Structure 1
Amino acid sequence: MSAARLGRYQACDRCRTRHIRCNRRSANESCIACKNAKATCCRERKTIFYKTQCAPAEPRRTTLPDERPEIIVGQDPTDHTPSVEVDSVGFSVLSESSLSSLSSPESYGDLMTNVSTSPGTQDSSIVQGDFISPEGLDKLPWPLESQFEASLLKYFLKTLSPWFDYCDPQQHFRTYVGNNSASDITLLYAVLAVSARHQSTSHHWQSRVADEYQQRCLRSLIAALNDQEKTLPDTILASAAILRFFEEMTETPEESVRTHHMLSAQLLLRITEGHVFRSSFTDAAFLVVLRSEIYVANLTQRPIGNLADHCNIDTSLEPTSECMWALRAIAHVAKATNLAYGGDSVKTTPNHHWESLMQYIVDWERLCPESFRPIYSQKQISSTNPFPQLYYANDYHVAARQHIELAKVLLLASNPQSCLLRMQQRRIGRSNDDRIRDSVRVICGVAMSNPEFTQALVGAGLVIAVCGELFDDPVETKLLFQLLSDAEAHIGWPCLKAKEHLRGLWRV
């Protein structure tokens, strides 16, 4: 792709609304991003919302997210596209000029939509005051006056906060967002943005409301970051971490790597350096970023870097809390990812470093508390499901087992052993591929056996996308494909083209 962003009259609508680079050069040519997404590549004028059917002005009502409003798209002759500046070390820097051309609040002045109601009732219209609050307020009125915005906040607390609070017994994000949304408009805009985006993805809405909330949040973030005279509240870090999740739902991981996150992990680190007081919440925020980095880095085959060093994780094997044992497993996957994709700067030989990482796994399994063993296990879930059945008590037990197995997969796949040793393993019928398949089966079995911990789907979807080509048994591949489909639907992130690639490979 070209290193420079195309002019605003060249980039296609899909790339422009996602703020990513577009290589479309003519009206008859599709860009790579649209080809990968199998989407129509076109360049129209900027869209706004308009009402296509007259409806009585009274009574008006707001809509809850599960009512799925159908937003109709029209044309507007204006065009506003934010840009991202990239600094010399290769990650994005937000500036006031980056957002100087974002859509003004007036562009939503005519925001209206048709609302699906129960059969036999007449559609009612929703205007700006009911749908989205006006911009320019220091804080939104509390209680919220918009039922739609209130429902988005509830959606985050109920549906999305468990993703952020995975392996966090204190549930920092749910508690923090619930306590601070009333007083911090930046945090509230971040929550409204990610909730609207997740619902539009899972319910297949056509909605630009999420983009508007994102732009408002970014403006507020920039204003706070430009104020060098006061220490930043940790709501800034919370907002940035939530918006980063928004970005990953907006564009594919492949596109994120090529264009860099506007709110990259490195930028979040810079936000905290000398500006944000470190607390248990900042540690929880960086754990969220680390988990998403592990997911994206392995799908795009790139190293993570030293992000795990900033998460305040005790990586020794000394006695500690059960939750910290799980965090050790997550941090170890980051190290294994760096080794697998060439991002490890350890000054030792590859063999020695690989052996030390593998030995850490052996020692972790030997020294971890007994509660990390499954409370029940059997070789397969049922006669039609050959994956192992493993019951666990808590989400951090589930996460620990999945991440330890994922670390094994990454290390086995990048084993620097000699060709002679690999041939000897095959002769005895126990190659690295066999051991990798065993670990994949455990990760998937854990997800299937513990459906109450829905975040385990993410771990299963990741390892299937990375290692699915090693499986050819139709019984297994059918179950793996269904699990991958469920994972993609749950997280709202596209898994690159893994699903379609494996569909063709497995013929399912």
Structure 2
Amino acid sequence: MSPSGSRKVSKTRRSQKSCTNCRLRHVKCDNTRPCNRCARNGVECLSEWIRFKHQPPKIRLSTAANATSNEYKFSDDQTWCSLDGELEFVDEGKNLQSIYQTEDAPDEGGESSQEDSEQVTPSREIGHHGTPDHQLNSLTLDAGPYLSSYHDSTSETSWPTDLSNTRLLERPPSQQHDSPASGSAVHSLGEALPLPPIDSFSPLPTQEVGAHCSEANHPTFTEIPVYHDISVWPLKDPTEAKLMRYFIEKIARRFDLCDPERHFALVVPWRAAFCPPLLDAALALSARCLSRTTDFDSYISNRYYQRCLNALISTLGIADALKNQDLFAAVVLLRTLEEIDGPLSGADSQSHLLGGHLFASASASEHSSILWSPGVLREPDRLTSLRRAALIVAFRQEVYMAFACQRPVLPAFYLPEIDRCLDNPTDDGTWTNRILLHLVDALKFCFGDEPMNPDQAMEKHNDLLKYAEEWYAKKPPSFNALFLDENTDRRIAPDIWILSDAAATGLLNYHLLRILLLSFDPHTPRVGPSRARFLKQQDREIKEEVKTCIGLAEGNPECAPHFVLASLGIALAGDRFEERWEKDELMEFLKRAESLHGWSTLAAQRHLAEA
């Protein structure tokens, strides 16, 4: 067979591979592009057309003279780079394919461009709870650059188009879509769409859209679907209404742990009625949690997830976008969606949502009024409170990821305004934030690269342990156990009932901090019989801390973060339990945590089984 013929056969063989979505979900793919399953569920059908060759192929001497490419021929003095760790190959999809286009790759031509120019649009009918123009114009908030162009869809305002400082928030190019050009901030629909039943969800309708904002020299505000000036309430889609109610009743509690004003339960929903990206983020998170605990379709979450990312990416070139509280809250929600699928220990798979630190930096460094939001009739201090609440949640997320990945906390997430003095009385949420800030110092001590001699390490360890014990000794009475049930079916830990989510969160982080400091104790003897006694006592204390974490979670079973923190303690110190019945109960707890709240504990279960 001729070389050209062999290449043709190879091309046909590669084109029959399953798409990425079907392969990841272990379902049968019909090998069409797009495949019927992806088309039916309204998600982008991605294929891996580029194959990486990890070593040069063998070239026969008889055919070497006829070789038409010097791709794998190198000079004798070729310099090769050494690698410190493992490489991770990432398929960037169609955009990367177009850059490295070869004759082996299929030429999709106009078909791919047509697919990339389509964007899913909302299947929501906007309600009539609008804000009159005279009320909008009477707002005394600093509207920034948006106010002059909001009611004039024909006016053109120049925005910065340099997205170099926002690349960390972008998705891979293969998943990017153009933003719909609405022509007005109000997305009116001519006719009401048929309502799908609760147990089914048809793909959202599509419409042709305008050019991407990065391709235009002077994009206008109306090209970027950040806000409606009319509320989408009441929601017309029963499935969306179900997801929003689930968010308010169940999901928001995960974010309002230390927030007495409950911003994510009481503020985010009505702001989402005016902000499509925030609404899509909330619906995506609710759908993902339901799909992991019930038979709810997981593709619904992916659809909202992709649509939210498209809107977020489109806004990042706009001045002051990082100061927008609604976009910040949306990024926080999407970050939690990633955490749900991530392991309790190992590498941090943050991908594009590393850009959350940009929002955190902007929120921590500035205290000016946030971006004006059409349709929002609240005072400036009330508006900035959501941004502050999102910053605290982002801080907790970063502390959790740093703990799970065994690394220091990124400085962008620090909370400089928290009063750390233990002699000053305060509310339960602030008291919990104090131990979280102290946990940041402990993570830096254990996993940081600051050079210390043995004496300095011992002194620093003593200071960290002293503050933690003082925090526990001076804790408010509301942190004491409401009930302690030692007569449970479980022999490993009792139920410990705590009054509030904030108090239980603070206690769980205190015991996790204790596990950390006990594991990194510089006072550990190097050799001799005293070392064995020291390590045995250390194991006993660490196991007691893990048991207490389990008891706190079991005593407050409706709060998902408590199960996550207790599971994190098992992931860190579960190998210290040697009895079979202890490991069985730890394994049962991890399985119960995943079944109750949908948080993946498979990696922790595997590590515990191998210990």
CA contact (8 A) 1:381 1:387 kept: no
Is 2:398–2:410's contact at 8 Å kept on the other side of the alignment?
no
Q: Determine the structure 1 residue equivalent to 2:5.
A: none
Residues 421 and 288 of structure 1: is their aligned pair in 2 closer, same or farther, counting only changes over 3 Å? farther
Structure 1 counterpart of 2:589:
483
Deviations 1:57-109 (A, max 9, x none): xxxxxxxxxxxxxx77999698995889xx9999824389686447999xxxx
Aligned counterpart for 1:316 among listed residues 421, 441, 448: 421
Equivalent in the alignment of 2:433: 327
Give the direction of change, closer, same or farther, for the CA distance of 1:271–1:49 in structure 2 (3 Å limit): farther
In structure 2, the partner of 1:446 is 552
- Scaled by the length of structure 1, the TM-score of the pair is 0.73
Mapped pair 1:294 → 2:399: yes
Q: Deviations over 1:371-409 (max 9, x none)?
A: 32223336x343752424432211122112111111000
Tell me the CA shift for residue 207 of structure 1. 3.7
Q: Note the C-alpha offset of 1:282.
A: 2.5
Structure 2 portions without partners, runs of 5+: 1-13, 49-91, 97-162, 182-192, 210-224, 371-380
Q: Distance in 2 between matches of 1:254 and 1:40?
A: 28
Check whether the contact 1:437–1:471 (CA below 8 A) recurs between aligned residues.
yes
Q: Given residue 170 of structure 2, which amino acid in structure 1 is its aligned partner?
A: L
Counterpart Cα distance in 2 of 1:50 and 1:143: 30
1:242 aligns with 2:333: yes
> Aligned AA for 2:439?
V
Higher relative contact order (CA 8 A, sep 6+): 2
* 1:471 counterpart (565, 573, 577): 577
**2:287 maps to which residue?**
196
Offset of residue 149 of structure 1:
1.4
Q: Distance in 2 between matches of 1:318 and 1:202?
A: 43
- How far the C-alpha of 1:362 sits from its partner, in A, is 1.4
Q: Aligned pair in 2 of structure 1 residues 74, 436: CA closer, same or farther (>3 Å)?
A: closer
Structure 1 stretch 338-347 or stretch 326-335: which is displaced more? 338-347
Tell me how far 1:229 sits from its aligned partner. Answer: 6.3
Change (3 A) 1:402 1:381: farther
Q: Which of 259, 283, 286 matches 2:388?
A: 283
C-alpha deviations, 1:332-359, integer Å up to 9, x for none? 2232223222266899932222111111
The structure whose Rg is larger is 2
Within 5 Å, which residues of 2 pair with 1:67-78?
none
The aligned residue for residue 522 of structure 2 is: 416
8 A contact 2:171–2:352 mirrored in 1: no
1:355 lines up with 2:457 in the alignment? no
- Over the matched positions of the two proteins, sequence identity in percent amounts to 25
Provide the secondary structure at the position in 2 that maps to 1:235. helix
Match of 1:404, SS state, is: helix
Aligned equivalents of 2:172, 2:582: Cα separation in 1:
52
Residue of structure 2 equivalent to 1:427: 533
Matched residue SS, 1:431: helix
Q: Which letter maps to 2:251?
A: L
Displacement of 1:317? 1.2
Deviation at 1:435, TM superposition (A): 1.0
Amino acid of the residue matched to residue 503 of structure 2?
H
Partner AA of 1:224 in structure 2: T
User: Per-residue deviation at 1:467?
Assistant: 0.9
Tell me the distance in 2 between the aligned counterparts of 1:94 and 1:192. 20
**Structure 2 vs 1, CA of residues 232 and 446 (structure 1 numbering), >3 Å: closer, same or farther?**
closer
> TM-score with structure 2 length normalisation?
0.62
Cα deviations across residues 420-479 of structure 1 (Å, max 9, x unaligned)?
A: 589536437852111111111111111122334443211111101111100122332222
2:307 matched to 1:216? yes
1:94 maps onto 2:94 in alignment = no
Verify the 8 A CA contact 1:186 1:239 in the aligned structure 2: yes
Distance change (3 Å), C-alpha of 1:452 and 1:196? closer
Change (3 A) 1:430 1:133: same
Moved more, 345-354 or 207-216: 345-354
Partner of 1:503: 609
Q: Does the CA contact (< 8 Å) of 1:377 and 1:388 recur in 2? A: yes
**Is residue 2:442 matched to residue 1:336?**
yes
User: Residues 394 and 114 of structure 1: is their aligned pair in 2 closer, same or farther, counting only changes over 3 Å?
Assistant: closer
Instruction: Give the Cα–Cα distance (whole angstroms) in 2 for the partners of residues 365 and 351 of structure 1.
Output: 21
Q: Distance in 1 between matches of 2:470 and 2:290?
A: 43
Kept after mapping to 1: 8 A contact 2:179/2:311: no
Structure 2 letter corresponding to 1:262: L
What 5-or-longer segments of structure 1 have no aligned partner? 1-7, 18-29, 52-70, 106-110, 118-124
Q: Contact conserved, 1:237 with 1:271, CA < 8 A, in 2?
A: no
Query: What letter corresponds to residue 368 of structure 1 in structure 2?
Result: K
Match of 2:562 among 444, 447, 456: 456
Q: Following superposition of structure 1 onto structure 2, how do residues 3-42 of structure 1 map, counting pairs within 5 Å?
A: 13-14=19-20
Alpha-carbon distance, 1:296 to partner: 2.8
CA contact (8 A) 2:195 2:236 kept: no
Any idea what SS the aligned residue of 1:377 has? strand
Q: Distance in 2 between matches of 1:430 and 1:78?
A: 53
Query: CA–CA distance in 1 between the matches of 2:597 and 2:257?
Result: 13
8 A contact 1:153–1:191 mirrored in 2: yes
**Partner Cα separation in structure 2 for residue 83 and residue 495 of structure 1:** 34
> In structure 2, do the counterparts of structure 1 residues 388 and 241 end up closer, same or farther at CA, with 3 Å as the change threshold?
same
Picking from 401, 406, 409, the partner of 2:512 is 406
Give the Å deviation of 1:262: 2.7
Aligned to 2:121: none
Could you say if the C-alpha distance between residues 209 and 324 of structure 1 is closer, same or farther in structure 2, counting changes exceeding 3 Å?
A: same
Kindly report the root-mean-square deviation, in angstroms, between the aligned alpha carbons of the 2 structures: 4.4
1-side partners of 2:271 and 2:248: how far apart?
Answer: 12
The aligned runs of 1:170-209 (5 Å cut-off) are 170-209=261-300
- Distance (whole Å) between structure 2 residues aligned to residue 237 and residue 40 of structure 1: 35
- Which residue in the other structure is 2:245 paired with? 154
Which residue in the other structure is 1:373 paired with? 480
Structure 2 counterpart SS, 1:262? helix
Q: CA deviation at 1:285?
A: 1.5
Q: Which moved more, 1:149-158 or 1:283-292?
A: 283-292
Q: Is the 8 A contact 2:316 2:322 kept in 1?
A: no
Superposed CA offset, 1:4-43 (max 9, x none): xxxx9899855x79xxxxxxxxxxxx9xxx7xx9x68999
CA distance in 2, matches of 1:422, 1:287: 46
Distance 1:413 1:312 in 2: 30
Q: How many residues align?
A: 443
Partners of 2:272 and 2:278 within 8 A in 1: yes
Larger deviation: 255-264 or 195-204? 255-264
Measure, in 1, the Cα distance between the counterparts of 2:44 and 2:429. Answer: 52
Task: Report the residue type matching 1:363 in the other structure.
Answer: E
One-letter code aligned to 1:194: L
Residues 198 and 238 in structure 2, CA contact (< 8 A), matched pair in contact too: no
User: What is the CA–CA distance in structure 2 between the aligned matches of 1:386 and 1:339, rounded to whole Å?
Assistant: 31
Residue 574 of structure 2 contacts residue 608 of structure 2 at CA under 8 Å; is this kept in 1?
yes
Q: How far off its partner does 1:249 sit?
A: 3.2
